[in-house]
Every structure is written in C-alpha cells, then in structure tokens.
Structure 1
Amino acid sequence: MEFTTIGALALYAFVMSITPRLNNMLLANAGLVFGFRNTIPQIVGIPTGVISQILLVAAGLSSLFAQFPSIQLELKVAGTFYLLWLALKLWKADALAQSLNATPISFSQALLFQFINPKSWLIAFTAVSAFLQPEKAVLPQLLIICFVFALIGTPCMPVWSAMGSVLRHHLSSLASLRRANRTLAALASATCIMFWL
C-alpha cells in the first residue's frame, strides 16, 4: 500500500472517529454519568467492533449484503429503535445514576453494538472498498487498514468520554444535569437521521 493511500486512510479513520456520531454521543454520556475511568471498556470495545466489521467485510460479508439487501434495512431499523430507546431514557433521566443504565457499557456490549450500527458498517464497507486494492496482496493491506483504524480511531474515543467527564464536574444542580441529558438525548435522536442518508 502506497504512502499516499495510507495517508488518505488515516485521514478517513480520523474523520470517522472524531466527528459527532452515535458512538461518540454514547461515550460523552457515559463519561458524564460514570466518569472517564469507567468508560475505558467502552472506549476499547468500539474500535474493536469496527475492526471486526472490516475483517468480515473483507472476508466476503459484503457479497451477502449485496445478495440480501433486506439485511441492511433490518440493521438500520434495529439501530434506529435502539438509539431512540437510549435517547428516551436520557431525556427522562433526572439523576446521573438514572442516565442510560446504572452500570457502564461493557467491552462486549460496545463491540456487539457496532453490528447493529449502520454507520459502523458504512465505515467498514468504505474502508475496504476504497483502500483495498484487489490486484495486490490482500492480507498485508487488510492488516494495514486495521492497524490504522486502531492507531487513529482508538485515541479519538477518549476525547468524547473526557468531555462528558469534565461536564460531570460542572453540573451542580438538577436543572443543569437535566439540560445536559436532554441535549445529549436530542443529539442521539438526530443521529437516527444519518442512518437513513
């Protein structure tokens, strides 16, 4: 893989990892509710899930999606309902312990969530289709793609968790906490629209 291709891949991984999207909204909320340290399993689980999807797409799952387009629709619907359910819980939460769950999202939950997150599938499909050159050896290229996503994407996750954690220390009243939860709920709901674009 050429250096320019790796540079473009790194930029793609950075933009997809740092910009506001569902995973980052969930990380910000987890930092707010549980503090930064308790979000570390979630921080590691998200990129692990995306890298797993990249490997599956490269292994031929994309042909299955092409053959059965209804699978993609079902993933979008499931992801939308899950996101709206989380947003509703956030909207109604009046205390830190009520937000989302009483326990933080685990590594395995964060990893598995990527499989119903259409945006994560889109990232995996784009990474494989745009940066994997079929005329060259596939395995070394695939390893580079996964390494770049791990190297670039993983450090982007703590940024969102840290923002939530910092906000946690500035929310001294019930009203300010409610406003923060409802803002995050609105942003999470708005992310549903991106599922369908």
Structure 2
Amino acid sequence: MDQLSIYLPGILLAYSIFIVGVASPGPNILAIIGTSMSVDRKSGISLALGVALGSLTWGILAASGLSAILSKYASALLFIKIAGGIYLLWLAYKSFKSAASAHDLDVKKLGQEDQSPLRYAISGYTIQMTNPKAALAWIATISLGLQPGSPLWVAAAIVLGIFILSTAVHTLYAIAFSTSFMVSAYSRARRYIQTTLGVFFSAAGLKLLTDRN
C-alpha cells in the first residue's frame, strides 16, 4: 500500500498525458476519423484497434528501454525529462497554432471500401509504428510516470493502462466520427479544445523541465 501511494500519482499523470494527447489529432487519429467518415464505422474501428496495438508496442519498447537505462544510470533521467519536456512544449505550440488556424480537420480515408478489417488493422498498426512522434510521446509519458528505482510493476501499469485507454479512446473516435453530428460539433469546438490542450501541454512540459527529483 505504501508503494502504491508513492507511485500512483506518477501513473495517473502518465494516463492524463495520454488522454490529453489523443484529444489533439495526429496522423493516426486523422486516419481513423477520415476512414470512419468516408468508408464506414467497422473499417474505422479496425483501423483504431491496429493503432492501439502499435501504441502498446511503442509502450513496451519505451518502458523496457528507459527502465534498463535508469537501472544503470539514474542520472540519465534528467536528460530524458529534458527531451520529454521539450516535446510537450512543441505539442503545446502545435495546439496553439491549430487553435489560431481557420482550417478544420484535414482528414483522409485510408484504403478502399472493399478492404478487409484485418487490412485496416494492419494499416493502423503500420501508421503508429512508422510515426516517430509516437515514440517521443511515449518517452515523455514514461518519464513522467517513472522515478529512479521504480519497480517493474510501475512501468507495466503505465503501459497496460494506456493500452486499455488507447483501445477505448481510438475506438470511440471511430464510432463518434462515423456520425455527421460529431463532425460538426468538433468543428465548432475545435479552437477551444486546442487552446485547452496547449495550456495542458505547456504545464506538463514545464513540470518535466523544472522537476529535478
């Protein structure tokens, strides 16, 4: 119980960073939205599941790599936090820039209507695994949740928890954006959403850059 109280805030913070991150559409989200809008809901969900599996793969790679580094070089956490903080501030800049833009979502469908669900899932996995921003996002997320000397279960809780969240959130994107109402509602609220995301990313980035614990 004592260990849980020590590490739980970091785990919850990592979850929060992920949830806010997926609220800011990147290539994977835009592909899910575009496919759900232009093809159908089933294809969008298949694509979403592939993206979630790719997120799990990146999470395992990031967690195992950072855990191995920290087990030998605890001081390396400082450099990891600096890299993660800079990335989060870059996300904040992108969010504020998007909020100031007059353009709506630039989406596109992925593949053809006659593709199988497996093909869409493979496409989603490929998009996530070939996106370097996904790796940077995981580094920032893991560095917020891990501390020097953290037991293995902390990294496992972060990775598995975010995989569950990734599956749920990406699937919800596919379901929601297969309806014209949600597309219209998001377009109206886009600037407010992006401004809020910019504030959150700024705060998280500054926390990483100023935290020396």
Q: Structure 1: where are the runs of 5+ without partners?
A: 133-141
Q: Which residue of 2 aligns with 1:60?
A: 69
TM-score by length of 2: 0.57
Equivalent positions of 1:1-197 (< 5 A) are: 16-17=14-15, 21-26=19-24, 29-30=29-30, 31-34=32-35, 35-61=44-70, 64=73, 66=75, 69-70=78-79, 72-85=81-94, 88-89=97-98, 91-94=101-104, 96=105, 98-99=106-107, 106-109=127-130, 113-116=134-137, 117-123=139-145, 125-126=146-147, 129-130=149-150, 132=151, 142=152, 148-172=157-181, 176-192=185-201, 193-197=203-207
In the alignment, the residues of structure 2 paired with residue 177 and residue 149 of structure 1 have an alpha-carbon distance, to the nearest angstrom, of 29
Equivalent residue letter for 1:93: H
Distance 1:45 1:167, change over 3 A: same
In the alignment, the residues of structure 2 paired with residue 113 and residue 76 of structure 1 have an alpha-carbon distance, to the nearest angstrom, of 15
Q: Using the TM superposition, give the Cα deviation of residue 155 of structure 1 relative to its aligned residue in structure 2, in angstroms.
A: 1.9
Identical pairs, percent: 9
Distance 1:41 1:175, change over 3 A: closer
Q: Using the TM superposition, give the Cα deviation of residue 122 of structure 1 relative to its aligned residue in structure 2, in angstroms.
A: 1.6
Contact 1:43 1:157 in 2 (8 A): yes
TM-score by length of 1: 0.61
Question: What is the aligned-residue RMSD (CA, Å)?
Answer: 4.3
Aligned length: 179
Distance 1:186 1:166, change over 3 A: farther
In the alignment, the residues of structure 1 paired with residue 102 and residue 192 of structure 2 have an alpha-carbon distance, to the nearest angstrom, of 12
